[in-house]
C-alpha cells in the first residue's frame, strides 16, 4: 500500500478553545440572502477549515441554531464567529471602513479569479449572492471589486458553497 488515511487523532486538529484564540486569516464571507441553510452550513465548515475570521449572515440568510445548518456545518457554528444583519447594505456600509469588499459575481467588468491579486492592505470580505438571483445590483455597487470564477461549461453557475470553497482556497494559496 502506498498510503493510508490518517486517523482522527493523527490530524493535529485544533480544539474549540484553541480555534477561538488562534490568529485568523483576514478573510470573511458576507452572505447576501442565501436561501439554503445547507449551503450556509457548508460555508461555516469551509470557514472553519481555512481559519477565516467571520461570516456575516445578511437578510433572509438562515442563521444558527438551525438543524439544516448543523447538518452540513458539523459543529463549525460553534467555532466560526458570525453575525446576523437585517440587510447586506447595512453590513457592507460598516465593513467598508475596515475591509476590502469583493463581490463574487459574473458582471461585464468582473476581474477573473485566475489573474486576481487579493488586496492585502485590509482584510477581505467576500460577498456571495442568492442561489437564484446572485448578488443584488445595489450590493454590487457597494463592492470595491467584482471577481468571477472562470467557467467553461453550459451553466455558468456554481453552487454558492462550492464558490465559497474556490474563493477561500484561492485566497489562502496566495497568502500562506
Q: What is the 3-state secondary structure (H, E, C) of 72-101?
A: HHCCHHHHCCEEEECCHHHHHHHHCCCCEE
Confidence of residue 158 (pLDDT cuts 50, 70, 90): very high
Region label for 53, one of left (φ > 0), alpha (ψ between -120 and 50) or beta (otherwise): alpha
pLDDT at residue number 44 = 98
Region label for 84, one of left (φ > 0), alpha (ψ between -120 and 50) or beta (otherwise): beta
Please determine, for residue 1, whether its predicted confidence score (pLDDT) is greater than 80: no
Mean pLDDT for the stretch of residues 28-32: 98
For 102-129, the pLDDT digits (tens) are: 999 999 999 999 999 998 889 999 999 9
Q: pTM here?
A: 0.95
CB 60 within 8 A of CB 35: yes
| Percent of all residues in the chain with a pLDDT value above 90, rounded to a whole number | 90
Considering only 12-21, 49-58, 79-88, 164-173, which range has the smallest mean pLDDT?
12-21
Please determine, for residue 57, whether its predicted confidence score (pLDDT) is greater than 90: yes
Report how far residue 102's alpha carbon sits from residue 104's, in angstroms, rounded to the nearest whole number.
6
For strand 145-148 and strand 52-58, is the pairing parallel, antiparallel, or unpaired? unpaired
C-alpha cell of 156? 455558468
Please determine, for residue 172, whether its predicted confidence score (pLDDT) is greater than 80: yes
pLDDT at residue number 36 = 97
Structural domains in the chain, sorted by start: 29-175 (3.40.1280.10)
Amino acid at each position: 500500500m502506498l498510503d493510508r488515511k490518517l486517523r482522527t487523532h493523527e490530524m493535529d486538529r485544533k480544539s474549540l478553545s484553541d480555534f477561538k484564540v488562534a490568529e485568523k486569516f483576514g478573510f470573511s464571507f458576507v452572505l447576501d440572502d442565501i436561501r439554503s441553510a445547507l449551503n450556509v452550513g457548508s460555508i461555516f465548515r469551509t470557514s472553519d477549515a481555512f481559519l477565516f475570521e467571520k461570516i456575516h449572515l445578511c437578510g433572509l440568510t438562515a442563521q444558527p441554531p438551525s438543524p439544516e445548518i448543523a447538518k452540513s456545518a458539523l459543529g463549525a457554528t460553534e467555532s466560526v464567529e458570525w453575525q446576523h444583519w437585517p440587510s447586506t447594505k447595512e453590513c457592507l456600509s460598516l465593513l467598508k471602513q475596515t475591509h476590502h469588499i469583493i463581490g463574487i459575481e459574473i458582471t461585464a467588468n468582473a476581474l477573473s479569479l485566475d489573474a486576481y491579486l487579493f488586496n492585502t492592505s485590509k482584510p477581505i470580505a467576500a460577498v456571495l449572492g442568492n442561489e437564484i438571483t446572485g448578488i443584488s445590483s445595489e450590493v454590487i455597487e457597494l463592492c470595491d471589486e467584482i471577481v468571477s470564477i472562470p467557467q467553461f461549461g453550459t451553466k455558468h453557475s456554481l453552487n454558492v458553497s462550492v464558490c465559497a470553497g474556490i474563493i477561500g482556497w484561492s485566497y489562502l494559496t496566495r497568502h500562506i
